Structure formats: C-alpha cells, structure tokens
Amino acid sequence: MVLEWFKTYMDPAQYERTSLKGVFAVIALAIFPETPKFLVAQKQYDEACSSVRFYYGESANISESVKAIERDVNEASSEDANLVDLFMVHHLRAALLLTLAALQNTEALWAILFSSTFFLEKAGLELWLAQWSSSLMAGAYVAGTTTGAIIIERYGRRKVLIFTNLFNMMSLALYVLCAEARYLFDPIKYGCLVMFVVFGYTFGSGVGPVARFIGIELVPLCYRSTLTAVCFAENTVMSFLLAFAVLPLFNLIGPSSFLISGR
C-alpha cells in the first residue's frame, strides 16, 4: 500500500533515484568503518586509529586526533545524564523545545520534494517542466547549503533561523497565490516553480542546517546524543505523517493545503 502510494504521487524518476540512493547508502554503511568516537569509548584504540585515518585522511595527526576524541568521551561520561533530565531540568527542557520548534519547520520538505511534479502539474505547468522541479529544488538546496555555511558564521544562528524561516514560509504562501491566480492570469503559474526553488534554497541556507545543530550547542556534551535522538525521532515521525497527509488534503482543498500543512 505504501509502495503504491509513492508510485502514484511521486515522479517516477524521483522514485527511482530515491531507491538507488537507498541502495548506495546501505552499501556505503557496510564498507565504512565504525566511528572513531564509538571505538574510543569501547577502548578499541587500534581500530579507532584506523577509523580516524579513514575519515580524517592520511595527513591527519592520528594520535592527537584520538586523544582529542578520548577527552570528549571522558567528559561526556564524567557526568550522569539520562532521558528524564531533558523533560525535568529547566534549561535542558528549553533546549529541547527550541530544537523541536525549529525542526517543525523542516517537515514540509519531503512531502514537497517527493511530490513536486504532482503539485506543479496541478498548477498547470507542462509535464517536462514539472518533472524537472525536483532536480531544480535539489540544486537550489545545494546552493543554499553552500552559501548558508558562510551566512551562519557571519550573522549568527538566531538571525539566520528567523529570516530563512520567514522567506521559506513566504515562498509557500506565494506558491498558493500563484496557483490560485493562474485562472485569472495563466503565465503566473510559472511562479509556482520559482517559489519551490526559493523554498529549496531557503531550506538549505538556514531552515534545515540550523535546526539540526542548534540544540547541541545549548546542552552539555553528555546530553547531546540524547537530545539529538529524541528530536530527530519526533521529526522523522512527523515528516512521515505529513508526507501522507498533505496529498489527500491537497486533493480536497487544492493548493491552500500548503497554508495548513506547510507549517
């Protein structure tokens, strides 16, 4: 049932690319060694050195890198940390809620990216152009991550997160406007594609990256893994549910569904 749903609403080319990427990811996981941090935590220093050499490169100072990792491991293990603290300790709870709020704005990406061809066809775009939309969005996302690395360091997390989210939400609102206004002025339908590209760029430049690391900057080292696991678990579940909810909603009320499910 799930497979048929994806085949129905996803661009077939996008479906094939997603499947192939999954296969390559599994192969890579089978080939790549364990992370140095885990190996150091397990006192497997020889394997940790090999892992550092693999991930850091031959030019890296292997012994110093392993020592630095060991210091992090010792610091993290020197304090008692448990899951309940994230909900009971005030500053940890604040970091958790902030991270969850930031990640909420990332949940629309997959529903839009996977079904962008479907959405743009419904907006009246030619099939070939609609099919290119996912590639254009992916390109905009890559461009966003490239420039975002510079912007984030120059202007800080807070400003980047606020303004990229603002433009990200505006792009979806303008998509709805273009999709509805095409009945009055047909060429404006191409604005839907432009807004999807803007959505991809703003997501890559700040919405996605900042949301994924802001939490670990707010909590002690010993809580970072737990915070990340909790937040990403919630984000994955909500993204999955949204991906299935947005298409029936789109079929029911049209482009205006983005005003409800996009944020």
pLDDT per residue of the chain (263 residues) written in tens, 0 to 9? 444 545 555 555 555 555 666 777 778 778 888 988 889 988 898 998 999 999 888 888 888 988 898 888 887 776 677 889 999 999 999 999 999 999 988 988 888 888 888 899 888 888 888 888 888 888 999 999 989 888 888 888 899 999 999 999 999 999 999 999 998 999 999 999 999 999 999 999 999 999 999 998 999 888 888 999 999 999 999 988 888 888 888 888 888 888 776 55
CA distance 178 to 82: 49
At residue 116, the 3 state secondary structure works out as helix
Does the CA dihedral 20-22-24-26 come out positive or negative? negative
Q: Tell me, what's the pLDDT at 261?
A: 62
Give the number of C-alpha atoms closer than 13 A to the C-alpha of residue 13, restricted to the C-beta side. 11
Which residues does 172 contact at the CB level (< 8 Å), separation at least 6? Answer: 108, 195, 199, 258, 259, 262, 263
Q: Tell me, what's the pLDDT at 232?
A: 93
Question: For the chain, how big is the Rg over CA atoms in Å?
Answer: 21
Superfamily of domain 82-262: MFS general substrate transporter like domains (1.20.1250.20)
Which residue type is seen at 199?
A: F
Which residue type is seen at 10?
A: M
Interhelix angle for 221-253 vs 62-77, to 10°?
A: 80
* Contact assessment for residue 31 and residue 54, using Cβ atoms and an 8 Å cutoff: no
Spell out the domain ranges in the chain. 82-262
Q: Tell me, what's the pLDDT at 59?
A: 84
User: And the tokens for 192?
Assistant: 């839907």
CA distance 211 to 105: 8
Q: Is the model's pTM score more than 0.85?
A: no
Q: Tell me, what's the pLDDT at 134?
A: 81
CA distance 206 to 251: 30
Length of the chain: 263
User: And the tokens for 179?
Assistant: 């999709």
Q: Tell me, what's the pLDDT at 181?
A: 92
